[in-house]
Chain A
Amino acid sequence: MAGGRERVLRRRISSVQNTKKITRAMELIAATRVVKAQQRARAAKPYAERITSVIENLAAGGAEVNHPLLRQAEKVERVGVVVISSDRGLAGPYNSAVIRAAERQVQNARSEGADYALIVIGKKARDYFAFRNFTIDSYTDGISDNPTYEDARRVAETVASIFTEGRVDRVELVYTEFMSIGSQKVATRRFLPLESTETIAAEGGGEAGVSGSFEFEPSPEAVLAALLPRYVEARLFGALLESAASEHANRQRAMKAATDNAEELITKLSREMNRARQDSITTEIMEIVSGAEALGSDDETEDRPAAVGVEA
C-alpha cells in the first residue's frame, strides 16, 4: 500500500540521524583531544632539544665512544621496524597509511636479503600484520591514545635491548608526523643505530655552540653513555606524542566528513520521503474523487449524498 515506502524512508532517516549524532559527538571529542595532544607534543620539545644540545656540546668536546647504541653493523641481517598505529579505528586513512609504510619497510628489508622484526604499537597494526601472518616480535597496546613517558621508556628499552643484543642490526621508526591540524604525514626515520654524535649535532640545530669548551663530569664518555639511552627514549616519546596528535586530528576530520555526509543523506532521504508521501496522498485523493464521482453518476437517482462516500 501507499504508506509503506514512506514508513521505510522515515525509519532510515531516523537511523541516519542517530549515526550523525554519534559521529558528531566523536568529532567534538577528537577536536578537544587534538588540542591537548598538540600541547603535550609541544611541551615535550624542550627536553628533546636540551638533550640534543648536550650531545652537540659533547660532539664539540670531541667525545666519541663505542656505545652499543652506536654500533654500525657491517652487514644488516635483520631490520627492526617500529610501527606506531592506533588502538581504535574510525580515524580515516591514519592507520592504513602508517601500516602501508611499515609494510614497505619490511619488503625493503626482504629485498636486501635481510630478515625483519616487527615492533608493533597499537591494535590496528597488530591486526593487520597478524592477519597476514607476519611475525610480530613485540606488541604494545593501550598507549597510543595518550602516551606517557613511562610507556615510551618501556618500548624504547625493548627496542634498545634487541638492538644491543645484536638480534637486529638496524631499526626503522614508522610514525605519523604532526605538521599542523590540517596536515599530517607518515614519516620513516632511522631509529638505531644512532648516527654519530657529530651527525646528531649537525641535524639538531639547537641552541648550543656556546663559546668555550665544556667541562664534563665524570667524563665525556660517561656523560654520553648515560645520555644516549635518554635520547632514544625522548625520540620515541616525541614520535608517540606526534602520532597521538595525528590520530586525533585524523579522527576529527573523518568524523566531520561522516557528519556532513549524514546531513546530506538526511536531506536527500527526506526529500524522497516527502515525494512518496505526496504521491500517496495524491493517489488517495484520486481514488476518493473517482469513487465519489462514480457514486455520484451511478446513484444520482437515489437520494444518497456523495459526502458519505468521501468520508468512508
Chain B
Amino acid sequence: MTFQIELVSPESISYSGEAEMVIARTLEGGDIAFQPGHVPFVGVLAVWSVDVIRPDGDRDTIAVHQGFVQVAGTKVSILSDVSESADQVDVERARAAKSTAEAALVANKEDADATGALARAELRLRVAGAEA
C-alpha cells in the first residue's frame, strides 16, 4: 500500500509522488515515520531531512529547513519555505557556509543566527552525502 506525498513550497509543488513510508523529524518530538493509514497529523518540522521510501524501495532524501507536515487520509503534505533534494545541494557553498558559521560561533557562542546557519549547512552536507 502506498500513499501520496507532496512537498509544497511557496513558489510551487517541488516534489510529488507515491511513497510507502515517509520519515520526518518534528520539533521537540523526534523522528516520526508515516505509513498509509496513519492518523491525521499536523506537526512542525525541525531543520532536518525528510526521507521518502518509494514503492520500488528507493529512498529520496530531502533537506527541509523549516516547515510543517500534514497527514490527512492518503495524503502527506510537507509545507516548507526552503527544501532541497540531494542533487540540488551546492556542496561548495554549504561547506563555505559551515566554516563561516563555525567561525562566528567561536567568536560568540550565543549567536543564534550562526547556530541556525550551522545546522542548515550540516543538514545540506548530510543530504548531499558529503560529510564535511
User: Which A residues contact B (CB, under 8 angstroms)?
Assistant: 40, 43-44, 46-47, 50-51, 53-54, 57-58, 148-149, 152-153, 208, 210, 212-218, 222-223, 226-227, 230, 233-234, 237
CA distance A58 to B70 in the complex (A): 11
Residues on the B chain within 8 Å of A233, using CB: 10
- Interface centre among A50, A217, A218, A234, by most chain B C-beta atoms within 10 angstroms, is A217
Residues on the A chain within 8 Å of B43, using CB: 216-218, 223
B33 within 8 A of A: no
Contact A215 B73 (CB under 8 A): no
Nearest chain B residue, comparing its CB with the CB of A217 = B43
- Minimum CB–CB distance for B116 against chain A, Å: 15
**B33-67 toward A: CB 8 Å interface, digit per residue (1/0)?**
00000011111100000000000000000000000
Residues on the B chain within 8 Å of A53, using CB: 70, 72
B27 within 8 A of A: yes
CB contacts between A and B, total, < 8 Å: 88
Contact B12 A215 (CB under 8 A): no
Residues on the A chain within 8 Å of B29, using CB: 217-218
20 pairs of residues in contact across A and B, judged by CB atoms under 8 Å: A43-B13, A46-B13, A47-B8, A47-B9, A51-B79, A148-B11, A152-B10, A212-B40, A213-B40, A214-B39, A215-B39, A215-B41, A216-B43, A217-B41, A218-B26, A218-B28, A218-B44, A222-B27, A223-B43, A226-B68
Residues on the A chain within 8 Å of B11, using CB: 40, 43-44, 47, 148-149
B81 within 8 A of A: yes
Residues on the A chain within 8 Å of B77, using CB: 50
- Top-5 shortest CB links A-B: A217-B43, A43-B12, A149-B10, A210-B72, A214-B40
- Minimum CB–CB distance for B15 against chain A, Å: 12
Contact A227 B10 (CB under 8 A): no
Per a CB cutoff under 8 Å, which of A40, A47, A217, A234 touches B42?
A217
User: Which B residues contact A (CB, under 8 angstroms)?
Assistant: 8-13, 26-29, 32, 39-44, 68, 70, 72-73, 77, 79, 81
CA distance A44 to B8 in the complex (A): 9
Per a CB cutoff under 8 Å, which of B12, B39, B40, B81 touches A230?
B81
- Minimum CB–CB distance for A272 against chain B, Å: 53
Nearest chain B residue, comparing its CB with the CB of A148 = B11
Contact B40 A215 (CB under 8 A): yes
CA distance A46 to B7 in the complex (A): 10
CA distance A58 to B72 in the complex (A): 13
CA distance A214 to B32 in the complex (A): 15
Contact B68 A223 (CB under 8 A): yes
- Minimum CB–CB distance for A160 against chain B, Å: 15
Residues on the A chain within 8 Å of B81, using CB: 149, 153, 230
A212-B39, A215-B42, A218-B26 known; A227 vs B68 contact (CB < 8 Å): yes
Contact B70 A47 (CB under 8 A): no
Residues on the B chain within 8 Å of A208, using CB: 72
- Minimum CB–CB distance for B30 against chain A, Å: 10
- Interface centre among B10, B68, B79, by most chain A C-beta atoms within 10 angstroms, is B10
